[in-house]
Amino acid sequence: MLQTDFEQPQRRLHSLQGGWLLLIAFVSGAMTVASFAPFSLHLLALSGPALLFFLWLYASPRQAFFLGWAYGSGLLGFGVFWMHISIDKFGNVGTLLAIFITLLFVVSVALLYGLVGWCAGYMAKRYGPALALVLFFPLFWVIGEWLRGWLFTGFPWLVLGYSQINSPLAGYAPLAGVYGVSWMLLLSAAFLVLLFKGKGYHKAIAFAVLLLIWGVAIPLKDVQWTRPAGEPIKISMIQANIEQEAKWRPENRRATLKLYTDLTRANWESDLIIWPETAVPAFAHLIEESLLQPLSTEAVEQGSELLIGIPVWNSESGQFYNAMISLGAIRDSYYKRHLVPFGEFMPLKFLLRPLIDWLQIPMSDFTPGEKERPLLQVVGYPAGISVCYEDVFGEEVIQAMPQAAFLINASNDAWFGDSLAPPQHLEIARMRSLETGRYMLRSTNTGISALIGPQGELLAQSPAFEQHVLSGEIIPMSGSTPYAVVGNWLVVSFALLLLFFTLLHARWRIWKKR
């Protein structure tokens, strides 16, 4: 029996001090960070969870909670520590308080990993370690990642599936999205533990399942889910590399606009030119006659179109929006819908208004847009638009499908300096291309601007923190991937149904004994 095979590790684990176990869990979480960009050691996303699964095998629910919390604290503590940069530089709170706020956020979000651990420990105690390992550990983890993606507006950063963008497991993304990739990875981790700790035919089963998971992924990665739907489009993306500290100073506005217009005029041969998020440090109505109308006329004369990031103020409502506006043959606009809490809007504003005034973060009181679908008409095609943080929500990006011929993400990662944030964000954007089978144009202020292919491949990228114009060609695409049709509900529904039938079975066993 598998349960007998696991008894020896149980005795060894309980002979260690609890503090050492927590340290091991914390280090395994920190180690998992290296599986994401820019390191991209994707197999560490397999070994980190596998080590945690081993620790969970015979832990009590309480012990498993703290082990999971320690793992999550290591993962997020090292993986998103860059958050303190924007809080420090632009939040007017000082370095020490910025670090404290970041660490408080990390340990709070890591509680979800603790909750996953508690559920894992409970199931291991109730159903035995072997069944819990291969069935419930991956199941609860994926549900936990999904919950993290929408609770309190969502923070789906460092979802394990992103780390596999360059691995064979990426082949599952067009089928089931990033959470499906996570599940396949976590199943692999579970059966890897079984391979090393099981005996006899259990090792053979584990080896066979691992071969199946990875063997199926390899041909899936080469499947072309979408098809070309037009002639190549030449594009240019303007990366002006303007420091965030200087961007909103009134005395720098003229120089900023001149830099963008000069770089644009040098690239009118492109069909589409894109400026990044809030490239224009002024409300649209203030520069309509002096900049927007002349640029629109010039774009038409040159046979090109221009897409710019700019804040828009509604004089009637007094609200303002983080917008992308197209200038050229057709004037169209998109208002960012999913805003960043505290950075772009203040939750419970009626209570926290003094905090807004104290933080003094530029443009931190946006209103979310109400457009039902994130589409914008450019160069004769509907494009799926996302602004900065919006592209981390795959279920929102696919709302543009199947109409969108390509994807555009305008971003500004200058908030986080020279940290892990820009390469991690680029990795996320690559996953969105792979999930939808669309080219992605990623235009940023300081980098990393990128041209991404429909299978998530990185076709071209700009150097970070340099002034650069990234040019290339894309092809409009049509058709849908399975994920673009069903979204995250394929994985989530399967996980919840599996959990439901398991609980139903448990109740049936109790009833049968009566």
| Contact yes or no for 368/349 (Cβ under 8 A) | no
Tell which residue, 304, 239, 250, has the closest CA to residue 276: 239
Residues 308 and 344 in one domain: yes
Is 428 within a domain? yes
Domain harbouring 264, CATH code: 3.60.110.10
Q: Where are the alpha helices (DSSP H) in 59-200?
A: 61-79, 83-90, 95-109, 111-127, 129-131, 137-148, 173-197
Q: pLDDT by residue for the chain (514 residues), tens digit each?
A: 445 455 545 544 554 556 889 999 999 999 999 999 999 999 999 999 999 999 999 899 999 999 999 999 999 999 999 999 988 887 777 899 999 999 999 999 999 999 999 999 999 988 888 889 999 999 999 999 999 998 888 999 999 999 999 999 999 999 999 999 999 999 999 999 999 887 778 899 999 999 999 999 999 989 999 999 999 999 999 999 998 878 888 899 999 999 999 999 999 999 999 999 999 999 999 999 999 999 999 999 999 999 999 999 988 888 889 999 999 988 999 999 988 876 666 555 555 555 555 555 555 578 888 867 799 999 999 999 999 989 999 999 999 999 999 999 999 998 898 999 999 999 999 999 999 999 999 999 998 999 999 999 999 999 999 999 999 999 999 999 999 999 999 999 988 898 888 778 767 766 776 6
- The verdict on 196 and 290 lying in the same domain is no
Phi and psi (nearest 5°) for 304? -130, 175
State the pairing for strand pair 305-313/272-274: parallel
Q: Provide the β-strand partners of residue 382.
A: 377
Q: Are residues 199 and 270 in the same domain?
A: no
- The verdict on whether 388 is a catalytic residue reads yes
For residues 276 and 215, membership in a common domain is answered with no
Per residue in 440-469, pLDDT (tens digit) is 999 999 989 999 999 999 999 999 999 999
Question: Looking at 224, 242, 262, which one is the last position of a domain?
Answer: 224
Residue 1 is predicted with a pLDDT of 42
28 and 114 in one domain? yes
Any idea how long the chain is? Answer: 514
Indicate whether 440 and 368 sit together in one domain. Answer: yes
Residue 22 inside a domain? The answer is yes
Question: 434, exposed or middle or buried, with CB in 10 Å at 0-12, 13-18, 19+?
Answer: buried
DSSP string, 275-326: --TT-S-S-GGGSIIIIIHHHHHHHHHTT-EEEEEEEEE-TTT--EEEEEEE
- Residue 408 and residue 379 share a domain: yes
379: which DSSP letter? T
501-512 per-position pLDDT tens digit:
877 876 776 677
In-domain check, residue 150? yes
Could you tell me which residues are beta bridge partners of residue 306? 273, 327
Sequence-distant (≥ 6) Cβ neighbours of residue 359 within 8 angstroms: 91, 92, 93, 342
> Is 119 annotated in the active site?
no
Measured CA to CA in angstroms, residue 346 lies from 84, 349, 393 at distances of: 18, 5, 20
Write out the two tokens for 293: 């109308």
Q: What is the DSSP string of 53-100?
A: HHHHTT--HHHHHHHHHHHHHHHHHHHSTTHHHHHHHHSSS-HHHHHH
pLDDT at site 423:
97
Q: Which of 119, 197, 344, 388 is catalytic?
A: 388
Which two three-digit tokens encode residue 197?
């700790």
Residue 133 domain-assigned? Answer: yes
| Sheet with strand 381-387: strands edge to edge | 375-378, 381-387, 406-411, 440-444, 450-452, 458-461
| Cβ burial, residue 153 (10 Å; 0-12/13-18/19+) | middle
Last residue of a domain, one of 224, 242, 259: 224
β partners of residue 321 = 312
Is residue 490 a part of any domain in this protein?
no
Domain count, the chain: 2
| Residue 424: closest CA among 102, 121, 157 | 157
Report the candidate in 48, 71, 93 with the shortest Cα–Cα distance to residue 359: 93
Burial 213-223 (b: 16+ CB within 10 A, else e): beeebeebbee
Domain that holds residue 294: 227-480
Q: CB–CB of 236/187 below 8 Å?
A: no
Does 236 lie in the same domain as 147?
no
CA 321, distance to chain mean position in Å, is 22
* Active-site residue, selected from the candidate residues 197, 247, 336, 390: 336
Question: Is residue 277 flagged as an active site residue?
Answer: yes
- The active-site residue, picked from 145, 277, 305, 344, is 277
Q: Which of 196, 224, 252 is the last residue of a domain?
A: 224
**DSSP letter, residue 404:** -
| HEC profile of 231-278 | CCEEEEEEECCCCHHHHCCHHHHHHHHHHHHHHHHCCCCCCEEECCCC
Q: What is the pLDDT of residue 4?
A: 43
Residue 506 covered by a domain: no
For residues 215 and 233, state if they share a domain.
Answer: no
Residues 182 and 231 in one domain: no
Q: 211 and 308 share a domain?
A: no
pLDDT of residue 90: 74
Sign, CA torsion 191/195/198/199: positive
152 lies in a domain?
yes
The answer on 289 and 177 residing in a single domain is: no
pLDDT at 360: 55
Task: Give domain status of residue 51, yes or no.
Answer: yes
Count of CB atoms situated within 10 Å of the CB of 245: 11
User: How do 381-387 and 375-378 pair as beta strands?
Assistant: antiparallel
